Amino acid sequence: MTAAARSEVRQELVSGIPAGYSPWVHLAVPTFLALAAIAGSLALLRGVSAWQLGLVPVFLLAGNAVEWNAHRGLLHRHVRFASRLYRAHVQHHQVFATEDMAVRDPRELRLVLLPWEAFQLVLAVALPAALGLVAVGQPNLAALWVASAAAYLLAYEWLHLLYHLPPGRVARRLPFLAALRHHHALHHGPLLQRFNLNVTVPLWDVLHGTLWRPVSGALDTRGGVG
């Protein structure tokens, strides 16, 4: 898609955003709920053991796998029960390209932040596992699982937001954020949507051979690939 065509799509999509939409509410409500879930889950811990804490990295690894598979299987393929997520992701790619990743207006956060259906899907995945752990007598593991899932979702949402902020933001000057943004920006290339599927840590991209780097591409922390 040319820059002119992408600009037209952008204008059309932004003009279609409901007048009552608040990007700050869209960002604040899931953030608050995730923080509340983390705090509430940790408050329920009683006599937690070292082996239970040792499973937290496993839970986060599971989150990385779910993120990769959901991105590949639901956001880039039209599955009926996730059709809203698929359409939102198509629009996201229509507006943002490798060389043009930044939002230009706060209302465009609707095209970046997760739609509500995504949080419902995460709840549908995380809650049965938590209930199952409680049922087998592991309430601490259930609490750690919920806290890990909420923390991972929070990291995904905020990292993805940072990748799409305008150039010059202080947070994007941090080397690890610049590298992660570069990783995600490459995913927005016209022929690269099968690669760089992890938005957070690209571990599953490495394990599944979907990590892509240009042979001579240089990192440009100002907003693209040089």
Is residue 123 a part of any domain in this protein?
yes
Residue 175, judged by CB atoms within 10 A of its CB (0-12, 13-18, 19+), counts as: exposed
CA distance 143 to 71: 26
pLDDT, average across residues 53-57:
98
Model pLDDT, residue 171: 57
Is residue 200 a part of any domain in this protein?
no
User: Percentage of the chain surpassing pLDDT 70?
Assistant: 92
Quickly state the pLDDT bin for 90 (edges 50, 70, 90).
Answer: very high
Is residue 218 a part of any domain in this protein?
no
CA distance 189 to 93: 9
Model pLDDT, residue 217: 46
Number of domains present in the structure of the chain: 1
- If you ran DSSP here, which 8-state letter would residue 100 be given? B
Quick count: other Cβ atoms within 10 Å of Cβ 9? 14
Entry pTM:
0.90
pLDDT, average across residues 207-216:
87
Angle at 133 between CA 125 and CA 129, to 5 degrees: 5
pLDDT digits (tens, 9 = 90+) for 96-113: 999 999 999 999 999 999
pLDDT, average across residues 195-220:
84
Q: Domain range for residue 138?
A: 3-11+22-168
> What are 135's two structure tokens?
């049922």
Q: Which of 118, 95, 109, 103 is nearest to 22 (CA)?
A: 109
Is residue 193 a part of any domain in this protein?
no
Is residue 221 a part of any domain in this protein?
no
* SS3 state of residue 199: coil
pLDDT, average across residues 156-160:
96
Q: Which residues of 106-118 are buried (b: 16+ CB within 10 A; e: fewer)?
A: ebbbbbbbbbeeb
* SS3 state of residue 97: strand
CA distances from 92 to 11, 104, 113 (A): 13, 14, 10
